[in-house]
Amino acid sequence: MKRISVFIGTRPECIKLAPVVWELRKSENIKLEVISSGQHKDLLKQMAADFELEFDHNFEIMRESQSLSTMSAKILEKATQYFENHECDIAIVQGDTTTAAMIGMAAFYNGVKVAHVEAGLRSNNINRPFPEEMNRKLISTFATYNFAPTEGAKLNLLNEGVREESIYVVGNTVVDAQKIVLEKLLKNSNLISDRVFQLVESIKKENKKIIFMTCHRRENLGQPIYQILQGVKLAMEKLTNYTLIYAVHPNPKVHKPVAEVLSGLGNVVLLDSQSYFSTLHLLKSADFVLTDSGGIQEEVIALSKPVVVLRDETERPEVIESGLGQLVSASKELVYEACIRVAQRTQISTSSKNPYGEGRSARLIVNLFET
């Protein structure tokens, strides 16, 4: 039997690795362990419950206001102890988090093969996003399995000298997760929080349109997020037929500017971070989306929702190429103009084919392990 360990540290990793865990559990030829680094504590706990994931081990490394260096060192140390005390043939990591990079390094140091889900994304700016661009480039240098979501991601890896025989284009597992959750929501709307469900229904009864927003990336903290929020405020003062629903990340560096700039606007509703079920309901109900989230950029394609990407560059060019996405820097004027422009569009031309696949990515990944 192959001994495979799946490592999860953050909310996005949980969403995108849950379908892989589900498929691995079906295999009679795989001994599976699922490990939490604890990089996101409360958010990860909530998400694991949503996806019915139980952790065999938890590194519990999160401490308030710890530096990247401290967090990285803790994960590397805990992961090294894990590999020294547990038999493991393949370590699966996802994306570009500190958890993924440090787990990958520890596995490499201990002679364990690394499988990188969502490999090959590149912004080609080492500082944006920071430290994610460095993390994903690092993992690609030692991964045995590079599971690229698109042909473009594969090309990025080839251009960096990654061996072609280690690259597999499998689509993105976020499509798997979204597809499964949407099917569950059709059968049971009680999975959506009462607050979110009632909010959406009340807005619809008023014949208003919905904008859904998230914004929390490290490079947008500080002055950039103030610029973004001021642009959004100007737009909402004009777009009186819209209600903005903002799911606010728990980071105090996000909460403070959001409260200062957007509190008190009659057509703005501020929510805490939501479960994936509630978030997907908000995305599905929205007329357009404002976000700096990578995962949400991918999810809007399957839902055919226009999105204003609040970043200088994106490692997901497929979103822009699809016709749904607009890339907008952290400028009050640019954000305002983008919101007005999207709100006034009457028709959007998009590709009918999802560049991230049709929801079979996890099965393709596990098939490769079983051969």
Q: Which residue out of 216, 217, 281, 311 is catalytically annotated? A: 216
Q: Mean pLDDT of all residues in the chain?
A: 93
40 annotated active-site:
no
151 annotated active-site:
no
pTM strictly above 0.75: yes
The string of DSSP codes covering 68-118 is HHHHHHHHHHHHHHHHHHS--SEEEEETT-HHHHHHHHHHHHTT-EEEEET
- Tens digit of each residue's pLDDT (9 = 90 or more) over 220-272: 999 999 999 999 999 999 999 999 999 999 889 999 999 999 998 999 999 99
pLDDT score recorded for residue 120: 97
Q: Which residue out of 13, 23, 118, 315 is catalytically annotated? A: 118
What does the pLDDT average to over 314-336? 94
86 annotated active-site:
no
pLDDT score recorded for residue 25: 95
Q: Which residue out of 3, 57, 86, 218 is catalytically annotated? A: 218
Cβ pair 324, 304 in contact under 8 A: yes
pLDDT score recorded for residue 44: 75
Same fold, 2-172+357-370 and 189-344: yes
206 annotated active-site:
no
Domain boundaries of the chain, sorted by first residue: 2-172+357-370, 189-344
218 annotated active-site:
yes
Q: Which of 14, 36, 35, 32 has its CA nearest to residue 23?
A: 32
Considering the segment(s) 189-344 as one domain, its CATH architecture is 3-Layer(aba) Sandwich (3.40)
Is the pLDDT at 57 greater than 90, yes or no? Answer: yes
Query: pLDDT tier at 42 (50, 70, 90 boundaries)?
Result: confident
Considering the segment(s) 2-172+357-370 as one domain, its CATH architecture is 3-Layer(aba) Sandwich (3.40)
Is the pLDDT at 351 greater than 70, yes or no? Answer: no
- Tens digit of each residue's pLDDT (9 = 90 or more) over 63-112: 877 889 999 999 999 999 999 999 999 999 999 999 999 999 999 999 99
Q: Which of 230, 205, 258, 247 has its CA nearest to residue 333?
A: 230
132 annotated active-site:
yes
